[in-house]
Amino acid sequence: MDILKCFSLAAVETFVVARYLGWLINTQVGCILFFAQYLALKYYRIFLYHKYFSPLRHLPGPANNHFFFGQFINLFRANSPTGPYIEWMREHPDAPLIRFLSFANEEIIMPNSVAAYKDVLQTQCYSFRKATFWIRLTKSFAGDGLIVMEFDQHRAHRKVLNSFSISKFRTLEPVLKLKAAEVMELFDQAIAENEDGKTGAVDIIDSISKTTLDIMGIAVLGVDLHSLKNKIDADTEFTFHEAYKIIFAQERLGKALTFINGYIPTRWVPLKANRRFLFATSWLDNCLTDLLRKRCFEIKVAKESGTFKSSGSRDLLTFLAEESMPGGIADGFKESQLVGHLLQFMLGGHETSANAISWSLFIMAKHPEIQSRLREELLNLGDNPQYGDIERLPYLDNFIKESLRLYPTANGINREAAIEVTIEGVKIPKGTHFDMIISALMRNPLIWGDDADEVDPTRFDRLSGEQLSPYAYESFSQGPRICIGKTLAMMEMKVILTELVRNFQILDSKKEFTLENPSLSLRPNGLEIRFQRIAT
């Protein structure tokens, strides 16, 4: 946009100079005017605006900014992708809005109050759009699906996907129990391979992500990917698990390239990290495109032969293929959009749930008293509990809410003001980027109390004040863009944790682990959990 403005102004100025001073209109004069104005404008935007002219300059925020990168380098170097934001919240717990600077000193607002979250996510939801940076970043691996759509397009596609999810998720209980049984087999195998034959240990995020990936394979594609049973080696065909591992667990250079790509295209640089990333994302896109085309062809042939029968429990792939046919509710949707929906369901549905389950097990390992109370509640259900009974367990429900409060499924919600808006009495210019860090809100002591950083599932039995607002608890977001997979995520957590807690004692592990950073989710890298079979 700045280039276009400066080019247009330079063209007008060149004409004026030639008209009134008698100069010849030539490329040299135009180029000089263009570059002089463009550099001046950029200098103003990067080095002057945020200090002296911005209407947001009075907002509190960190002071240790780099002269060009703002907090960008500090965020990248942090041990946690949410750590710096939580520190800023603790410095200004009562500030409804916190401002910090990012790449090229771009101003970014971090909402820090329940009222601010409500304004952005509900009251003035359609005054905001997904941030340009965030769209560029996520489209590189998540395609053109729902999470990058806006306004009327988002509403139309969301309506179609809602009609699938509402009827589908409850039918997956047998699948969840099957996959929980496979996890237990993996635990038993680890115990058998250990020298003492009593305890075992696994990399929990790797094991659980395979489990949730298999669940999403059945729900989205109608295919059991058998990720838990497939061991990847040099002779193994490339798999969904390996593709997602490349995307989510990149080396430090790869992570940097992914996030910088949101500002400046970097994927063309001939580096190994780029080649691996592009191969994985291309493989996923091609694989899902081929599956969609094959399913559409099969449905078309069945309709032409009169043998077509629709099933209410069909997977998302079959649902989209059927409904994209002439007369279907998805008729007119582009193929790239349908593939994008598949990509995003597979990506979000398994990665976030895997993180949530892993952190829940981590909490139980650190707090055996919580684990014991959970086990006591679960064992009262009998030998083969059904989800209808599991869903109504109060302490399990509170525990999962508390786990998600401390370790939410996504790090943040990104928005950009589509028009000038007023949030908490502050006028926000059009184009301002909002970085809504969920952990900062859900650890704010002014909302959740002085024990906001402590694990206490019973806090949900005595909520008061702002804690009662749905906008104080943002694990799945709120408003029209609330997570479409919330129901399935809660089912996955409750069913899998039920089976594990009923059959294993979760033990603490002394092995150090790190957090992926930068990352869109709070993903523990190298989190090892020890466990022991409970005698029956």
146 and 24 in a common domain: no
The answer on 330 and 474 residing in a single domain is: yes
472 and 345 co-located in one domain: yes
Residue 235: its pLDDT value, please?
45
Domain boundary among 38, 53, 68: 53
**Is 77 domain-assigned?**
no
Last residue of a domain, one of 12, 35, 53: 53
Q: Hey, CA dihedral for 68, 273, 289, 345, is it positive or negative?
A: negative
Q: Are residues 160 and 272 in the same domain?
A: yes
119 lies in a domain? no
Establish whether the linkage from the previous residue to 518 is cis, with ω within 30° of 0: yes
How many structural domains compose the chain? 2
Helices 240-248, 272-305: inter-axial angle, 10-degree rounding: 140
How is residue 61 written in tokens? 């925020």
Helices 486-503 and 335-366, interaxial angle, to 10°? Answer: 30
**pLDDT exceeds cutoff 80 at 27:** no
**Range 85-110 average pLDDT:** 96
Check residue 232 and give its pLDDT: 42
Q: How many CB atoms lie within 10 A of CB 443?
A: 20
Mean pLDDT, rounded, of the chain: 89
- Domain with 260, as residue range(s), is 139-533
94 confidence band (pLDDT: 50, 70, 90): very high
Statement to judge: residues 371 and 495 lie in one domain: yes
Residue 328 structure tokens: 């279907």
Cα dihedral 107, 111, 116, 118 in deg (nearest 10): 110
Asked if 368 and 237 sit in the same domain, the reply is yes
Tens of pLDDT, residues 491-518: 999 999 999 999 999 998 778 999 988 8
State the pLDDT confidence band at 253, using cuts at 50, 70 and 90: confident
202 phi, psi to nearest 5 deg: -140, 155
- 225-232 long-range contacts, CB within 8 A, separation 24+: 228/179, 228/182, 228/183, 228/186, 229/182
Band of residue 310 on the pLDDT scale cut at 50, 70, 90: confident
Note whether 257 and 367 are same-domain residues: yes
CB atoms within 10 A of CB 382: 9
Same-domain check for residues 47 and 162:
no
Identify whether residues 159 and 11 lie together within a single domain. no
Q: Which two tokens stand for residue 305?
A: 């032969």
Q: What is the mean pLDDT of residues 202-228?
A: 92
> Both 464 and 315 in a single domain?
yes
Residues 332 and 199 both lie in one domain: yes
Do the domain assignments include residue 440? yes
Q: Per-residue pLDDT tens for 352-362?
A: 999 999 999 99
324 — pLDDT class (breaks 50, 70, 90): very high
Task: Indicate if the pLDDT at residue 312 is higher than 70.
Answer: no
Q: Is residue 59 part of a domain?
A: no
> Do the domain assignments include residue 107?
no
Q: Is residue 91 part of a domain?
A: no
Helix ranges, 380-530 (H) = 387-391, 394-406, 438-442, 445-448, 486-503
Compute the distance between CA of residue 280 and CA of residue 239 in angstroms, rounded to an integer: 9
Question: What tokens does 304 get?
Answer: 């032409």
pLDDT, tens digit, 9 for 90 and up, residues 144-174? 999 899 989 999 999 999 888 766 777 888 9
The CATH number that applies at residue 376 is: 1.10.630.10
Q: What pLDDT band is residue 75 in, cutting at 50, 70 and 90?
A: very high
Residue 100 included in any domain = no
Position 260 scores a pLDDT of: 85
Q: Would 419 be classed as within a structural domain?
A: yes
Q: Is residue 469 located within the same domain as residue 360?
A: yes
% of the chain surpassing 90 pLDDT: 66
Question: Radius of gyration (Cα) for the chain, nearest Å?
Answer: 26
